[in-house]
Each structure stands twice: as C-alpha cells, then as structure tokens.
Chains A and B, each alone.
Chain A
Amino acid sequence: MISLVSSVEHPKGVLKESLKEIEVIRGTTLVKRGFAHMQKHGVIMDVTSVEQAQIAEEAGAVAVMVLDKLPYDVRKAGGIARTASLKVVEDVLNHVTIPVMAKCRIGHSGEANILEEAGVDMIDESEVLTPADEERHIWKWDYTTPFVNGGRDLGEALRRIEEGAAMVRTKGEPGTGNVAEAVKHIRLVNNQIGRIKFLYENGDNQELIREARELKVSYEIVAETGRLGRLPVVNFAAGGIATPADASLMMKLGCDGVFVGSGIFKAEDPMERAKAIVLATTFYDDAKIVSEAQKMVDERKSMMGLDAKTMEFRMQDRGTI
C-alpha cells in the first residue's frame, strides 16, 4: 500500500466522472503516486525530438522526458529556458507507447496547464528551466496530472511532496555529466532519514517536532518518513548521470530509479549507452552485468563533463524554498 500522507482535502485535481455503468475518480493521490511506482527500477531519458524518443524507447527507457534543449545545451546557450515546443511534445506523444513527461518552469502554472492539456503523463517542475517564481512552486494538488520535483535535501523533497509532488528526484547538477552532486544529495537525504527513523522508533516526539520545524514541513510528514524509513514517494536519481557505472552507483545508494539528461544524447554512442544504462540500473547489484554494460560504452565517447565546484551558475540552487 502506497503512503497517502499529506493529501489535501478536495483537491482541484481530483475529478469524478460517470461512465456508462460506473463512476470513476481521476487524479487521486493513489493514482498519481501509483504512476510513479510503475517507473521504479527504470531509466527515464531526456529527449528533444521524436527520433531521440524512439531511440530511448527501443533502448528500454521506462519513460521519456521532453525538453527543448538538453541541460548541457541549456547551460551553454544561456538566456531563458522555457518548456518545449508543443509540436514536439505532441509528436512524441503520438509516436511512443511508453509514458511521456515534460518539463515546465518552477512556479509556472501557465506552462503546467499547457502540458496537462497536451496530455503528458507527468510534469517535471524543473530547475533546468529558468524559474518563473522565485518564492513558490506550483500548487500541484490543482492538477490531475502527477508532478515530479527535484530536491537537494530532505526538507526540499518533503516540501515538494506537501505541495503535491507525486515523485521526487535528487537535483544533482544537471548538464555536467558529473555524478558528484547527485551522490551528495542522496547521501544527505539518506542520513537525514536515518536520524528521523531513529527518533520515530524511540518515540521522541519533541525532537520530531523540532525536525519538522527545521525542515519547514508538517510533523505528520516527518513522522510518516520516520515510520517508513524512506521518502513517502518514489525517489529517483538525477543530475549528472553519464555512464552505466554512475547509474549502478545511484541505485546502490538507494534510489528507486534513474533520470538521465544530457548523459545519453550528448554522448557519441546514444543507443548503446542508453541500453547499457538500463542494464546497469536493473542489475545494479550484479557486478558481472554492470561490467558487461560498462563495456558497451566507450569512455572516449562520454560527454566531456563539467566540475560543479568551480561553476558560477548552479541549477541546483534554484527553487530551494
């Protein structure tokens, strides 16, 4: 049974509809979080065209994420990064059978409405695009379509869940091909959950309330996280994953699956790499298959990569409130 913690009463995104013989309810917490559970142990790949989406599907992606430019190119191009052309989104929707996700700007409910209308299966309110609202994210309970959000630490992740995110991911540092930031974020989340679990199991409510205040979230979601010993929604790795070994590392650290952004289509061997990353994600605990997967890619064809430490502009610092 999926945790339904933080669900609000009568959210706008929940729609009742009478079919011929039966009444159905759409957009419930169970249906939205349930969708994320179907992605588990899989790889979601960033694509910018139908051709790339078809390569991703063929290679075994569990879903594709449509955006205008890959994070690496967003970084290089500068300027304002917005949601992808609807033409491209619709084209992808009509040509692949796996779920199609798309990114909108943080706080930009206008873009989110358009993506929901287009019929995407999940919306990523993403720091890769230029934030539209520096102070608040989208109130995601208003949507029937589920959302995924990024977080660098437990507070960010839980705040996004309270706003209605049905899935979360580490932020990492997108477009760098450097997995270090994603590792930092998942380690931090794991450590924070470890402490909360300990407090919960010891029935230390005073400390749990203190934690909730520090994380700027409700006591309820902190207690639920302690009870579960994990995030209450599906949590993927994202931001800098470029090789099969990277994917296996993130799975070993406890992620439920992996997003790959620039890592595949900024490499010179996208099809082979995509297949290899899928294998390394599913079989992360089988050293033999992971090394087989790593052999499928050539390090000379990996994206060049950037070191997040020396970078002036960091996408992960966007939308942290």
Chain B
Amino acid sequence: MIIGVLGFQGDIEEHIAATKEALKKLKIDGAVSVVKTADELGEVDALIVPGGESTVIGGLSLFNKSLSVIKERIKNGMPVLGTCAGMILLANRTYDRVVGEKKQPLLGVLNVLVERNSFGRQRESFEADLNVPLLGKQKFKGVFIRAPSVKEASQGVETLAKLDGEVVAVRQGNIVGTCFHPELSGDTRLHEYFVQMIKKH
C-alpha cells in the first residue's frame, strides 16, 4: 500500500508522520510518499490533501497539471482524505465568510458547499473535544485553524462529525473530508480509519 501526501504546500510532514504511525499501529505494510507530479500520482493507492492554503495548493496543482489527474483518479475510486484546506479543494462549491464568492481552482469531487474561514480568523481558532461516532466512544481532539465548515451537502454525503450544529467531517464513498486537523492532534484514529478504508478498497 502506497499512500501519497500532496506535497505543494501546507502541513505535509505532519500527515506523513500521522499516516506512518497509523500503519504501524495497524501492522500494515505500507509506504507514505510526497507526491506532486502526474507521474508520482500514478503510483499511489490513495491520496491525502493536507492543510495549508487552498488557493495556493489549488493554483500550484493547476500549474503543474496534476489537478485534472487527481480529479480523474478520485472519480475512478481512489480513496482520498482532505483536511481543512484539503477538504476545501475536494468540495465542488466554496465561498469565504467575509469576502464572499471567490474563484479558485478546485477538485470539485465532493458534493458539498463549504464556507471558508467559517469560525472566524486565527484568534478565533480553537481546540475542542469532538464526538466522532465511527472512531469510538473516546472523544477526538479537533484542532480548528481558520477552519471551514460544511454548509450544504447533497444526498450520498454522510456526516461523520458535528460541532455546535455545524457539519465538520463528511464521507462520500471514497472521499473523506474534515474541517479540523487530525494530523496535529497526536491521535491517529482518523488516519487509521482512512488506512482501513484503503485496505478495503
């Protein structure tokens, strides 16, 4: 099993570390690699789109022509996990809470409307103990950094977690998106869930 982490910008290294840890805990033989080019993308079984700035990651993947390759692979069933900016990129519609609609390159494979910077600016960023039923009874520490939220979701999009009434984690078939950063919390349960999803695929 080879899991790629999209390596343009953002907290790439944290995802690599969390995924390696998850593989180790599950005793699954697998490799984690940084991918940027179409060739590199062709070699992975699954992809993680990290946190960072969605406008930057989107722009760079458009520049090196990997955006359409990723889109095609996800449509063909490749498992993908997007956290924060990564989830924004997966979405098919976005707007910013303050600035409003903004044209930005997206993968557009996840049928949701995402509000960017939904909880406010950095000063309003927070940690909170979330209920994520599919990860078990023990709460999951959600790290929300200028986080987005899911405002609308089409049929076929399953809610994985909510925070104060807002949808903050979703799954649509082979696509998982979270508004928070499981790679920063030191709890690898969400990465383990993703690895198991890849294994079943």
Question: Could you list which residues of chain A lie within 8 angstroms of chain B, going by C-beta atoms?
Answer: 1-2, 17, 19-28, 30-31, 34-35, 37-42, 57, 60-63, 93-99, 116, 119-122, 144-146, 278-279, 282-283, 289
The chain B residue with its CB closest to the CB of A61 is B56
List, in ascending order, chain B residues with CB within 8 A of A279's CB.
Answer: 60, 63
Choice from B96, B126, B184 contacting A25 with Cβ under 8 Å: B126
11 sampled A-B residue pairs with Cβ under 8 A: A25-B127, A34-B11, A34-B145, A34-B184, A35-B122, A39-B53, A40-B10, A62-B56, A97-B98, A97-B116, A116-B123
Residues in B whose Cβ lies below 8 Å from that of A30: 127, 143, 184-185
Closest 9 CB pairs of A and B: A121-B122, A24-B126, A1-B186, A37-B11, A97-B96, A41-B9, A19-B164, A24-B128, A26-B126
**Is the pair A42, B9 in contact by a Cβ cutoff of 8 Å?**
yes
Contact B128 A23 (CB under 8 A): yes
State the interface size on chain B (CB cutoff 8 A). 49
Complex contact B53–A20 (CB within 8 A): no
Whether B124 lies near A26 (C-beta < 8 A) is yes
Contacts of B99 in A (CB 8 A): 94-97
CA of A116 to CA of B121, assembled, Å: 11
A165 to chain B, nearest CB (A): 15
Q: Is the CB of A60 within 8 A of B128?
A: no
Asked if B191 is at the interface (CB within 8 A of a chain A CB), the reply is: no
Q: In the bound complex, how far is the Cα of B199 from the Cα of A49, in angstroms? A: 50
Chain B: which residue is nearest A41 at the CB level?
B9
Closest residue of chain A to B99 (Cβ to Cβ) is A97
Say yes or no: B143 contacts A122, CB within 8 Å: no
Q: How far is the CA of A275 from the CA of B13 in the complex (A)?
A: 24
A42 engages B53 (CB within 8 Å): yes
The residue on B at minimum CB distance from A94 is B98
Whether A2 contacts B14 by the Cβ 8 Å rule is yes
**Do A38 and B51 contact each other (CB < 8 Å), given the known contacts A24-B126, A121-B121, A279-B63?**
yes
- Which residues of chain B are near A120, meaning CB under 8 Å? 121-122
A17 and B164 CA atoms in complex are apart in Å by: 12
Among A40, A93, A116, the one with the most B-chain Cβ atoms within 10 Å of its Cβ is A40
New contact pairs (13) apart from A42-B52, A97-B98, CB-CB < 8 Å: A20-B164, A20-B165, A21-B163, A31-B127, A35-B122, A35-B125, A37-B14, A37-B184, A38-B146, A42-B56, A93-B98, A99-B53, A99-B122
- Most chain B CB neighbours (cut-off 10 Å) among A23, A26, A28, A63: A26
Q: Output the nearest chain B residue to A2 by Cβ-Cβ distance.
A: B184
Give every chain A residue within 8 A of B36 (Cβ-Cβ).
283
How many residue-residue contacts, CB under 8 A, span A and B?
142
The residue in A25, A30, A37, A98 that gathers the most chain B C-beta atoms within 10 A of its C-beta is: A37
Q: Is B181's CB within 8 Å of the partner chain A?
A: yes
Contact residues in A for B98 (Cβ distance below 8 Å): 93-94, 97
B16 CB to closest chain A CB (Å) equals: 12
Query: Which residues of A lie under 8 Å from residue B143 when comparing CB positions?
Result: 30-31, 34
Would you give the 0/1 interface string for B10-32, flagging 1 where the beta carbon is closer than 8 Å to chain A?
11111001100000000000000
Residues on A with beta carbons closer than 8 Å to the beta carbon of B185: 1, 30
Closest to B164 in A: A19
* Min C-beta distance of B140 to chain A, whole Å: 12
B8 within 8 A of A: yes
Q: How far is the CB of B13 from chain A (nearest CB, A)?
A: 8
B128 in complex: contacting residue of A1, A25, A99, CB < 8 Å: A25
Considering the complex, give the chain A residue whose CB is closest to the CB of B126: A24
Q: How far is the CA of A145 from the CA of B146 in the complex (A)?
A: 12
A34 and B181: CB pair below 8 A? yes
List the B side residues contacting A98 at CB < 8 Å.
53, 55-56
Task: Give CA–CA (A1, B129) in the complex, Å.
Answer: 17
Name the CB-closest residue of A to B188.
Answer: A1
Q: Are A60 and B56 interface neighbours, CB within 8 A?
A: yes
A98 to chain B, nearest CB (A): 6
Interface string of B135-161 (1 = CB under 8 A from A): 000000001111000000000000000
Q: Which residues of A contact B85 (CB under 8 A)?
A: 38
Residue of B nearest to A286 (CB): B36
Q: How far is the CA of A21 from the CA of B163 in the complex (A)?
A: 8
Convert B79-96 into 0s and 1s, putting 1 for each residue whose CB lies closer than 8 angstroms to a CB of A: 000001100000000001
